[in-house]
Amino acid sequence: FCNNGTFPQHLTRPGGALGHPEDSTYVWKLTLAIIGPVMGLLIIIGVVVLILLKRSHNKRLEHPPGGHSSYLAVPHDLVSSSHDNLKSQDGYLELTSGSGSGLPLLIQRTLAKQISLAECIGKGRYGEVWRGIWHGENIAVKIFFSRDEASWSRETEIYSTVLLRHENILGYIGSDMTSVN
């Protein structure tokens, strides 16, 4: 007989335990829950795009698409300014043969004077490979023996080919014929 039909009245807040959907704090929390992750995702995408653009820009600086592969840039003090085939660009003078047939002879003759040999890296049947320094940068110098002039000529012809690009060819500066003494 304890439950004779009367039940206690529970006090409830209007709109339930979470409050009304129209409540300003509820709307504010819902807005932050949606906009926060979207903004975070946009920031991450923006950073990734900036990194990719920076990398492609650096690659373009290393390998210009229309590079001047038919002539070699020479610092101003190495070439007299009275020569007919000089072109000036970005503080450098470039000497071409005028015919477009490859690297000019004058540049090839001055190339050996600009390189200082540091150490022998290896020796083989046709010559030696040395580590050299050219304009403050480390380079590889392949020195052919005088009896293998045909090999030198053929290799010079191959590397002088315009637009010769391959991932295993680091870069070709030029060829020179000189004596050791």
Which tokens in the block code for residue 152? 């030198």
Residue that is written with structure tokens 């000019």 in the block? 104
CA angle 112/114/117 to nearest 5° reads 70
6 φ, ψ (degrees, to nearest 5): -100, 130
Give the list of residues 6+ apart from residue 19 with CB closer than 8 angstroms, or none. Answer: 13, 25, 26
59 has binding-site annotation: no
How far, in Å, CA of 149 to CA of 81, rounded?
33
Residue ranges of the binding site:
142
Residue ranges of the binding site for ATP:
142
